[in-house]
Structure 1
Amino acid sequence: MKYRYLLLNKPYRVLCQFQDAQGRPTLKDYVPVPGVYAAGRLDYDSEGLVLLTNDGRLQHRLTDPRYGHPRTYWVQVEGCPTPEALAELRQGVRIQDYMTRPAVVQVLPQEPDVPPRDPPIRFRRHIPTTWLRLTLREGRNRQVRRMTAAVGYPTLRLVRVAIGELHLQDLAPGCWRELNNQERQSLLRLGNVQKL
């Protein structure tokens, strides 16, 4: 079997699956490649990098929390996080019945170059927003949103920009491409899978 490894820039309000009984947009609307599946998920209201593959072993390694591969996000939050709030994110945050792993987080000095979202985020004249760069080594359901809310700064927009050494770069929303050989090797090392 020829293994395929694709990167997609998932648009806002697209399900990270190939079918939906309610008729919402899915990956099938953007990736016409049979037999590939998402290695990890992004929420319906999140955007950015999704890896798709037909390599089941790699897919399992990338989605199993035991292996803790890094995923990096640009996160627009409401307000200006205090040093204490950032320290909490860096130490791990209690969400419901579990403690998250520590995150690597920094405030971005300026708004990242992301395409406008349709519809745009809500704008509040007297409440500023801040962009963070946040890297996690776990991926629980809606984790980034729950973490920022837990420290008092709700997420307004969430864009995954990297999975390990794979980066979104200039891939436009809704577009996809095959990994090049260097990216494939990096991905296989990340998943600790010996192929090629």
Structure 2
Amino acid sequence: MSRAYQSFEYGIKDAEELLAHFDAINVNPPPSNAEVLKRAGLVMALTAWETYVEDRLLEEMNKKLGVVAGSYVGDFVLKKLHADLKQFHNPSSDKTKRIFQEYLGLDVTEGWSWANYDPAKARSTLNSWIGKRGDAVHRSKPINNGAPVAHLIKRDELEKVIRFIKELVRSTDTYVDNSL
């Protein structure tokens, strides 16, 4: 298990705790402000994924550059990686695939396989959640003119995304370990 995976396990707890808080206040009918906990949980789950990808890539590159660490070449590569990671937002399957291929020569998306998921379905599912994360971040609760507005993310969806991200990280970590 990588250090990045260990950090991820700590980071994903934020999303799990937000779900637990939602459950604790979810009475019938739930308070009108309870929905924000689910949106925040979605954002935190996908932030944990983004952080994992960045940390895992840095961890592997530090291993690969060990021999040239401190040299012009080593410093150049790390400087470029850090600059690329500053621009690495919303890690869709394509972005994740591209950055791992560029730095490690590895298509990590090929390792995204677990119960009920093959790489194509995992890529599609991740991209869908990334899109929903964008909505959660950039769109507040819509103005309601009397009619109830559907929540951006349902409680069971938040539970699914947390489980999905955990499996995605586990399969990515295993694939990187077995491929390098």
Normalized per residue, the structure richer in strand is: 1
Q: What TM bracket, shorter-length normalisation?
A: under 0.3
Normalized per residue, the structure richer in helix is: 2
TM-score by length of 2: 0.28
TM-score by length of 1: 0.26
